[in-house]
Chains A and B, each alone.
Chain A
Amino acid sequence: MSAAPNRRPFDAGRAAYLTLNALLLTFLLLPIAIVLVFALNPTPYISFPPVGVSLRWFEKFFGSAEFMSALWLSLWVASVVLVLSILIGGACALALARGNLPGSALLTAFFMSPLMVPAILTGLALFQAYLLSGIGRPVWGLITAHTLVAVPYVIRTTLAVLHNFDRRIEEAAAVLGASPTRVFFEVTLPLIRPGVFAGGVFAFIVSFDQFPVSLFLVVPKGETLPVVLFNYMKFDLDGAIAAASMVSILLALSVVLVLERLIGLKAYVKL
């Protein structure tokens, strides 16, 4: 209120500033819009300008056994990762915030470290470990790898909620005679639920879009969607990729909307 902008009729500096920012936003968003154009353009190869609207690429994508098995594998892996990382990450965050653990700051940093290490190296290290121990490349190995890089997101969002809510609510419940178990299930758990779910949504996206961690851990014929798309793109650039991209973008967007509904994005994107 005190900083009410003193509006002048025309402000060249301000206009330039806003124009610049509008251009930068366009740079961020336009490529995604262009993918939609190519997904709907019926020409057999990527060409511009578009000549019409058709769904043939979506038909090709949804009709291709290779793409479909990859899509289902990705969805399956991401769903299992979502559940696992919610359970493991949520529990871990509770322990870090409420367990009176010595050195919990250091522990938190440790559990965040998969985000700090290049993802392709996490994939490489797991590949080497699986190779040496004779595990090979089963689907559960891939799921475990994805869970490892997804858990930090759940820990982060859950910790954010745990640090924000007033501990006295729990204490009040205890004073009023609730047993620790009851406090946990009736006070703590409902309060942290939005944070855990938000982290779960991140976990789903991290797994569904995961490439570098998957690269060395998938087997031929058992590849996830990003890996299949990557291999396809090395030789072919047609609308099928655009259609596949649209499907993943729409999945991600709907997930973001759910996230926004659940909790509001703002608190969880702090780096």
Chain B
Amino acid sequence: MTTAARPSPIAWLIAPAALLFVLFFVLPFGVMTAMSFYSGNPVTNPNAFLTTRHYERFIFDTAGIFHEALWSTLRIGLITTVISLLIGYPLAHWMARMQSRLGHALVLMAVIAPMLTGIVVRTFAWMTILQDKGVINTTLMQWGVIEKPLPLMYNEFGTIVALVHIYVPFMVLTLTGVIGRIDERLEQAARSLGAGRLRAFVEVTLPLSLPGILAGSLLVFALSISAYVTPSLMGGTDVLTLPMLIAQQVGTSFNPNFAGALGVILLLVSLTIVVAYNRILARLAGGQGMA
């Protein structure tokens, strides 16, 4: 009864989504890319010409801020990723190995709850904790541990702390899936053969979860290099990242063409990472033959 290869009438239901995506996703990114190669707005300005000068401006960086911005974007992304992994792994392992369903549901809720709280709100929470009159500094000063407030915010440190908090749930959820798929009996076998718990973990579970570690890390890296709210609120004048630079070009410099070029650069970096992420996940889902 079901026609094997021919699309059924239900296939037409794809039309609204296809229209939305072509007009408001594919086309705009085309426009952004085109704009990045123009000297001005080609519609309103008849003198606008094709040029690669926006990319040259970035590459030669005579102002001396663009390479630094790219570098600090990548550095913040990398540190955020490593810390998220160190924090996320124990939580993910705990969740994946939890016997009680209620416990599992509760931890899952605890991990997801921050995800459902907006980025602006969570960044605000960290500002109240880390600022000079914030929770940590006042408490430490009252205890007499320190005399002057510690510089916990308006720098890279504060930015990274808040970014880790925002993106750890993504790491946990990716890792939980992968660790949960590792047969627990492998670890038990290693232990019954005389390995200690730590050794069984380091030599069996950890290597088997490597693809998950990679996938989670790539995801968190891709998310944190495109973060805007957190670095601009937590970083103060100390931190300038690529997304902040883009917003500056649109908001204060009103140079949408250069913003477009910066956008294309950020897009290329993050798409490379996302493709790698998908490759790893696809390989995970395909064969278990990674071990």
Q: A114 CA to B14 CA in the complex, in Å?
A: 17
Asked if B280 is at the interface (CB within 8 A of a chain A CB), the reply is no
A189 smallest CB distance to B (angstroms): 12
1/0 per residue B77-117: CB within 8 Å of A? 00000000001001100100001000001011111111011
Contact A209 B127 (CB under 8 A): no
Contact A265 B17 (CB under 8 A): no
Contact B20 A131 (CB under 8 A): no
Q: Please name all residues of chain B whose beta carbon is closer than 8 Å to the beta carbon of A266 when the two chains form the complex.
A: 105, 108
Q: A133 CA to B222 CA in the complex, in Å?
A: 30
Known: A29-B110, A209-B119, A271-B177. A122 touches B25 (CB 8 A): yes
Q: A125 CA to B266 CA in the complex, in Å?
A: 12
Of A32-40, A51-59, A60-68, A191-199, the one with at least 4 CB within 8 A of chain B: A32-40
Q: Which residues from 135 to 152 on chain A have a C-beta closer than 8 Å to any C-beta of chain B?
A: 144-145, 147-148, 151
Asked if B211 is at the interface (CB within 8 A of a chain A CB), the reply is no
Q: A116 CA to B279 CA in the complex, in Å?
A: 13
Q: A252 CA to B109 CA in the complex, in Å?
A: 12
Contact B125 A31 (CB under 8 A): yes
Kindly identify which residue among A25, A87, A91 contacts B91, using a CB–CB cutoff of 8 Å: A25
Contact A87 B16 (CB under 8 A): yes
Asked if B65 is at the interface (CB within 8 A of a chain A CB), the reply is no
Contact A45 B133 (CB under 8 A): yes
Q: Which residues of B contact A (CB under 8 A)?
A: 1-8, 10-14, 16-18, 20-21, 24-25, 27-29, 31-32, 35, 41-43, 87, 90-91, 94, 99, 105, 107-114, 116-129, 131, 133-135, 138-139, 165, 168-170, 173-174, 177, 184, 188, 197-198, 219, 222, 225-226, 228-229, 233, 243, 246-247, 250, 256, 259-260, 263, 266-267, 270-271, 274, 278
Contact B165 A230 (CB under 8 A): no
Asked if A83 is at the interface (CB within 8 A of a chain B CB), the reply is no
A234 smallest CB distance to B (angstroms): 7
Contact B25 A99 (CB under 8 A): no
The 8 closest A-B pairs by CB, nearest first: A118-B226, A99-B11, A209-B118, A92-B17, A31-B125, A95-B14, A125-B28, A129-B28
Known: A96-B14, A132-B41. A28 touches B114 (CB 8 A): yes
B230 smallest CB distance to A (angstroms): 10
Q: Please name all residues of chain A whose beta carbon is closer than 8 Å to the beta carbon of B111 when the two chains form the complex.
A: 28
Asked if A127 is at the interface (CB within 8 A of a chain B CB), the reply is yes
B19 smallest CB distance to A (angstroms): 9
Contact B32 A128 (CB under 8 A): yes
Considering residues A116, A144, A253, which has the most beta carbons from chain B within 10 angstroms of its beta carbon? A116
1/0 per residue A150-186: CB within 8 Å of B? 0100010000000000000001001000000000000
Chain A binding site: helix, strand, loop or mixed by DSSP?
A: helix
Contact B226 A120 (CB under 8 A): yes
Q: A88 CA to B123 CA in the complex, in Å?
A: 32
Kindly identify which residue among B16, B32, B91, B267 contacts A24, using a CB–CB cutoff of 8 Å: B91
Q: Please name all residues of chain B whose beta carbon is closer than 8 Å to the beta carbon of A99 when the two chains form the complex.
A: 7-8, 10-14
A263 smallest CB distance to B (angstroms): 13
Q: Please name all residues of chain B whose beta carbon is closer than 8 Å to the beta carbon of A269 when the two chains form the complex.
A: 108, 112, 173
A209 smallest CB distance to B (angstroms): 3
Contact A265 B256 (CB under 8 A): no
A114 smallest CB distance to B (angstroms): 6
Measured CB to CB, the nearest residue on chain A to B225 is A118
Asked if A233 is at the interface (CB within 8 A of a chain B CB), the reply is yes
Q: Which residues from 94 to 130 on chain A have a C-beta closer than 8 Å to any C-beta of chain B?
A: 94-96, 98-102, 107, 109-111, 113-114, 116-122, 124-129
